[in-house]
Amino acid sequence: MAYLDNIAVFVRVVELGNLSAAGRDMRISPAVASNRIKELEKHLGVRLFNRTTRQLMPTEHGTVFYTGAKQILDAVIEAEAAVSALSGQPRGTIRVTAPLGLGRRLIASGIPEFHDKYPDIEVRLRLSDHNVDIMKEGIDVAFRLGLLEDSSLRMRGLMECERVLVASPDYLERRGTPQTPQELIDKRHDCLMLRFPGMREHFWMLTTPTGPMKFEVHGPFDSDDGDVLTGWALSGRGIVNKPRFEIEPYLREGRFRILLPDTPPTPIQLAAIYPHKKLQDPKVRLLLDFMAERCQRLIREILAGK
């Protein structure tokens, strides 16, 4: 197992580019990760990395070894999944990611319950509003609000979620209530945008009588954290475009008002995204089924005011 562990560390270092990131991912210290790489290099009799101050780059030998090492690890994972399926006792680790708002409201609270049902399965949850590179980060399941863009992945749609434009009464009293989508632009309303490097959606897609239409809205500031945008909107700093289930409690309290109800934002798909081979793993299927039922139930309860 020690040799296989060394190979696993080597693969993650290649994929993440440095020892610290690989160590955090595998829950070992950078020193331990470094020692395992040294043991592997000693065993193979070659140098696997060229070391710089910030990054480890695989040598020619390292690049060749990575291809075979990755195939070995994938084969081990598939073999373990096959044994789990045969024994009826799924076990192992699942890496999961989700956006901050979705993860906090729907996913995170379900992880302990899932572990209670399947105590031999460990779940590592990473919450981020950035588009996590599923393949590079070794993610098994990503829960997302949006469409699948990477054709190398698979998507399981969980449910369609209504979106709304909302603002606080204080903002509307100060700036006025827009009556048409075009007023968002013409009257230079402060629209709070979710933005981060690599994100493509710098506009709002609204449902008009002639079909969906893009509106290039603007605002004085933006954030890569959806909950920050909600906080700004609650404090009267602008208009925000949110899945209704995320802000339904504030609507009931009167802290938000829905804008442009006749031309709402287009709905967004709540989905689970995963590498196509992962669905063969029983523990991944169990997590998908568990979270699909749970998310649907919780969203219905939130919208019903329960």
Please list the ranges in the chain whose pLDDT falls under 50: none
Candidates 3.40.109.10, 3.20.10.10, 3.40.50.2000, 3.40.190.10; CATH matching 163-266? 3.40.190.10
Q: How far apart are CA 135 and CA 138, in angstroms?
A: 5
Give the per-residue pLDDT at 82.
66
Residue 206 has which token pair?
Answer: 């609204």
**89-160+269-303 and 163-266: same fold?**
yes
Candidates 3.40.50.2000, 1.20.1250.20, 1.10.443.10, 1.10.10.10; CATH matching 2-85? 1.10.10.10
Domain boundaries, the chain: 2-85, 89-160+269-303, 163-266
CATH architecture of 89-160+269-303: 3-Layer(aba) Sandwich (3.40)
Segment 118-157, tens digit of pLDDT: 999 999 998 887 777 787 778 899 998 876 665 678 888 8
* Cα separations in angstroms, 68 against 3, 65, 131, 140, 295: 14, 5, 28, 21, 39
Q: What are phi and psi of 241, to 5 degrees?
A: -105, 110
Residue 193 DSSP code? E
Segment 25-63, tens digit of pLDDT: 777 888 888 888 888 888 888 888 887 766 788 888 888
Residues near 88 by beta carbon (within 8 Å), at least 6 away in sequence: none
